[in-house]
Amino acid sequence: MDERFKDLDAAVPLQGILGYLNFAGGKPDARFQKQLSDAYRWLAKKGAQEPHALLAELLRSKLAELRAGGTSAFRDTRQAEAVLALVFAELLPAYRAHHADLLFHQPARELFQPFFLARVCEAVLLQGAPWDDEARIVAGALTVLNDYVGHRPMAILETRPKGEPYDHERVRPVPIYIREAGVAWGRYNALVSKALEILATTDAGLLTEAYFDADLLDELAFDPRAYDHQHPVNRRPNYVFGEWDAHHLDNQGRYRRYVARQVALDALLDRVENAGQLDPAEVLFEAAAVFAGTILMATGSSGNSPATHDSTTTLASLMPRIAGYRDAFYASLLDKVGGPHGARLRAEATTTRQPFGGARQHLNQYLARHRAAQLQQRHLSWLFADMGYPEASLQEASRIPAASTRMLSEIAGRLTTGQLLADRGALPQAVQILPEAED
């Protein structure tokens, strides 16, 4: 093992992580979650490209050391050994395979973040012994993990009992904040931390109007699916910013998990990472302010429970109210900013005709470019297919991260291949293409 990583145990005691894995039954533990985040942070600072993979090796090594040392709490380490093997060798690859179409664009470093790993460990532990029944545990844990699909107004089809979405549409949002454990290590850490800090100091009346209560926020996560601008559900107002998870409720029917869209986080982070001559700390504050504003806009659309908005509520009546408290939020926050930073923001507001106009316009422009690039890639793929260049069509389609758009483009490419083969009289080969297009 690389010598750089051997001192992790001195910085983040691995015995605590292993103790949870060896004795817990799957109940979430904030200390365990935070220890995972701290371990990731330490490994990343030492240069680890995929902290989760290296952490698995370090945990196995430490467990063997504790067992050999005769530590009373680790005389029997069968559960921890099994859980480590199930999590890293079985469940993470199974999750990848299950979402091969949906999440193919996500690198492991982005997907397998510390709090996501915590949820994976909890899901495995919930399945219980016997630990050698791998098929049962992996299948059960996948069901526990894949607990989110988001807003899906779909017709009830004969092939979908009770209107349920397809199994592979459900996914596990990647947690970036968990109550008591705090904000996870990762590239969104500073942005989310500052946004939550801003929300904590926002006027209580305004938060109530936006149906946001920080005390009810058990988890803030991002949707790891690629944002598809052509999908009908994404035409819902404010959907691009996120939503309360309608299936994550407490016993009083209140929402407890907020799911942000990764594309919005990336848009705001893009401005921070390309601050130019501006003070990075100031730009981070502005990006966090806009992220906080998008949360309030999204929660206003969702309400704080499924019963918030009844059938008489329309977009015409809802959107003006949301716009009103959004403007009040930004104006109030701008009044709190003093010094040169405040002077710059007020001058910017005059130019852009809205508070925090620079960051807000950057978000909108980023989303517009993202949509244009997605449409361009799709049409380019279809154009190559129509011109009779199926290989080029499939190559362009493979660059589209949104699953449905990519699949439609790939189908067009395969149909073109089949048509070309049929025109050449190669009917047996053309017939073989049809199952690929239908798959």
Q: Where are the beta strands (DSSP E) in 119-234?
A: 174-178, 182-183, 219-223
With H, G, I as helix, E, B as strand and everything else as coil, classify residue 148. Answer: strand
Say which amino acid occupies 351.
T
Kindly report, residue by residue over 237-280, the tens digit of the pLDDT.
677 899 999 889 999 999 999 999 999 999 999 999 999 899 99
Say which amino acid occupies 121.
C
* Residue-by-residue DSSP string for 89-137: IIIHHHHHHHTTTTSTT--HHHHS-HHHHHHHHHHHHHH-S-TT-HHHH
- The half-sphere exposure of 345 on its side-chain side, counting CA atoms within 13 A, is 24
β-strands 219-223, 257-261 pairing: parallel
Kindly report, residue by residue over 183-235, the tens digit of the pLDDT.
999 999 999 999 999 999 999 999 999 999 999 999 999 999 988 887 777 77
Q: How buried is 70 (Cβ within 10 angstroms: 0-12 exposed, 13-18 middle, 19+ buried)?
A: exposed
Mean model confidence pLDDT for the chain: 89
Listed residue (90, 91, 172, 78) closest to 131, CA to CA: 78
Kindly report, residue by residue over 124-165, the tens digit of the pLDDT.
999 999 999 999 999 999 999 999 988 776 554 455 556 677
- The half-sphere exposure of 177 on its side-chain side, counting CA atoms within 13 A, is 24
Token digits of residue 433:
């293409």
CA distance 403 to 397: 10
Q: What's the Cα-to-Cα distance from 137 to each of 55, 101, 210, 271, rounded to whole Å? A: 22, 23, 41, 43
Measured torsion, CA atoms of residues 382, 385, 387, 389, in degrees rounded to the nearest 10: 130
Q: How many CB atoms lie within 10 A of CB 423?
A: 10
Mean local confidence (pLDDT), 12-16: 92
CA distance 234 to 375: 14
> Please, which pLDDT band fits residue 419 given cuts at 50, 70 and 90?
confident
Specify the length of the chain in residues. Answer: 439
Kindly report, residue by residue over 316-350, the tens digit of the pLDDT.
888 889 999 999 999 999 999 999 999 999 999 99
DSSP class of 87? I
DSSP class of 259? E
Q: H/E element holding 191?
A: helix 189-200
CA distance 196 to 289: 9
Listed residue (37, 52, 162) closest to 110, CA to CA: 52
Residue 57's pLDDT is 92
Report which of residues 362 and 70 the model is more confident about: 362
Mean local confidence (pLDDT), 283-311: 92
Q: H/E element holding 347?
A: helix 339-352
CA distance 214 to 255: 11
Has residue 415 got a pLDDT over 80? no
**Domain spans in the chain, listed from the N-terminal domain onward:** 3-145, 187-337, 367-438
CA distance 181 to 162: 37
Say which amino acid occupies 154.
M
